[in-house]
Amino acid sequence: PSPFLDVRDLRVHFPTEDGLVKSVDGVSFTLERGQTLGIVGESGSGKSVTSLALLGLHKGTRARVSGEIWLEGRELVALPEQEMRALRGRTVSMIFQDPLSALHPFFTVGAQIAEAYRVHHKVSKQEARDRAVEMLKRVGIPQPERRAKDYPHQFSGGMRQRAMIAMSLVCDPALLIADEPTTALDVTVQAQILDLIRDLQEEFGSAVVIITHDLGVVADLADDILVVYGGRRVEYGSTHDVLKQPRHPYTWGLLQSMPHLTGDVGVRLNPIPGSPPSLINLPGGCAFHPRCSYKGWALEGRCTLERPELRTVPGTGRHLAACHLTEEAKQEIHGGGPARA
């Protein structure tokens, strides 16, 4: 049977005055119902654009999208906007980073959740309002009947994110996309929201894609991790394999700069030197080579000349990495354990 979500060689290129921005350049992954995929990379690595394409939000823009997105046997890249609109919010739903930009300031929270429900369901206003209150209760808003009548600015940041989650789940979507769902929140609230997403996923059985710059966010939550750099996949596998035996220097860097598990939250202990590449002009060879401390370990000049293919890590089923280093070199540099300082 084909996977619930099957993204094949997705490319999202956007023409600008400076040149063609290749935000997503040949990304593939699969996801089953009830499973969570973490897409991880620094900001500006094209992660968010992947989620916009999953929602069909590129339609009507100048973006050039190719490849295939199969969701429950239906292909979304070529789907007309009219049909995509019927899926958006109902089959595919999104939790945005900043609930304030997704919630309208002039309408009550309850009215907005009710409206999101009524877009896809023929129910009375009262039924939709009841459903909104029910959803607010499920995401842990105290006194939901009363709070449904509040406006977004009357909610705290964490409560707003809960309301946003309630709105994105009100139609019981099969696929939920969460783009940096906790970035704007303080640490305690972050943990609560991640727990909430996990609980709701169990309850609703949706497939979840979490997009984040922080491996710590997906370490406990995701079944699979996809690490992207410069709009391309550099490492992909089960969370267990990727965290226990990371096989790409960029992933090592992300692990070492991860604030969560160290307790020093907000402090990046060992940030990766340099900055993400221009998506218009990726470095030749391995796109990560200008920032990679290990290129000297590969065959002479290879990292700057030849783009590494994504290959299966020896001895694993479906753990993939794109790096010229030999397995022996990786073992020697990094060993088998996680890249924690």
Binding site for Mg ion (CB under 5 A): 48
Within 10 Å of residue 245's Cβ, how many Cβ atoms? 22
Give the Cα separation of 273 and 222 in Å (integer).
27
Choose the binding region for ligand SF4 from 64-72, 132-140, 181-189, 292-300 (rule: CB under 6 A). Answer: 292-300
48's contact among Mg ion, ligand SF4, none, with CB below 5 to 8 A by partner kind, is: Mg ion
For the bound state, the minimum distance from the C-beta of residue 299 to ligand SF4, rounded and expressed in Å, comes to 9
The yes or no reply on residue 295 touching ligand SF4 (CB under 6 A) is yes
325's contact among ligand SF4, Mg ion, none, with CB below 5 to 8 A by partner kind, is: ligand SF4
Complex with ligand SF4: residue 138 or 247, whichever CB lies closer:
247
For the bound state, the minimum distance from the C-beta of residue 16 to Mg ion, rounded and expressed in Å, comes to 18
Choose the binding region for ligand SF4 from 107-115, 119-127, 173-181, 321-329 (rule: CB under 6 A). Answer: 321-329
303's contact among ligand SF4, Mg ion, none, with CB below 5 to 8 A by partner kind, is: ligand SF4
Choose the binding region for ligand SF4 from 46-54, 73-81, 111-119, 294-302 (rule: CB under 6 A). Answer: 294-302
Give the Cα separation of 46 and 250 in Å (integer).
15
| Strands across the sheet containing 207-212 | 92-95, 175-179, 207-212, 36-40, 224-229, 232-238, 320-321, 311-312
The yes or no reply on residue 233 touching ligand SF4 (CB under 6 A) is no
The yes or no reply on residue 298 touching ligand SF4 (CB under 6 A) is yes
For the bound state, the minimum distance from the C-beta of residue 23 to ligand SF4, rounded and expressed in Å, comes to 20
The single residue among 164, 193, 323, 339 that binds ligand SF4, judged by CB under 6 A, is 323
Give the Cα separation of 24 and 69 in Å (integer).
13
For the bound state, the minimum distance from the C-beta of residue 290 to ligand SF4, rounded and expressed in Å, comes to 8
Complex with ligand SF4: residue 211 or 323, whichever CB lies closer:
323
H/E stretch holding 13 reads strand 5-16
Q: Which residue has the tokens 């070529």?
A: 78
- φ, ψ dihedrals at 189, nearest 5°: -65, -40
- φ, ψ dihedrals at 8, nearest 5°: -120, 115
State the alpha helices, DSSP H only, in the chain.
Answer: 47-54, 81-87, 99-102, 109-118, 125-138, 144-147, 157-169, 187-204, 215-219, 239-244, 249-256, 302-305, 327-334
For the bound state, the minimum distance from the C-beta of residue 338 to ligand SF4, rounded and expressed in Å, comes to 18
Complex with ligand SF4: residue 269 or 299, whichever CB lies closer:
299
229 - beta bridge partners? 232
The answer to whether 249 and 288 are in contact (CB under 8 A) is yes
The single residue among 152, 276, 308, 338 that binds ligand SF4, judged by CB under 6 A, is 308
The yes or no reply on residue 294 touching ligand SF4 (CB under 6 A) is yes
For the bound state, the minimum distance from the C-beta of residue 97 to Mg ion, rounded and expressed in Å, comes to 7
Tell me, by CB under 6 A, how many residues bind ligand SF4.
14
The yes or no reply on residue 286 touching ligand SF4 (CB under 6 A) is yes
Q: Which residue has the tokens 């009830």?
A: 34
3-state secondary structure 168-226: HHCCCCCEEEEECCCCCCCHHHHHHHHHHHHHHHHHHCCEEEEEECCHHHHHCCCCEEE
Residues within the interface to ligand SF4 (CB under 6 A): 248-249, 286, 288-289, 292, 294-295, 298, 303, 308, 323-325
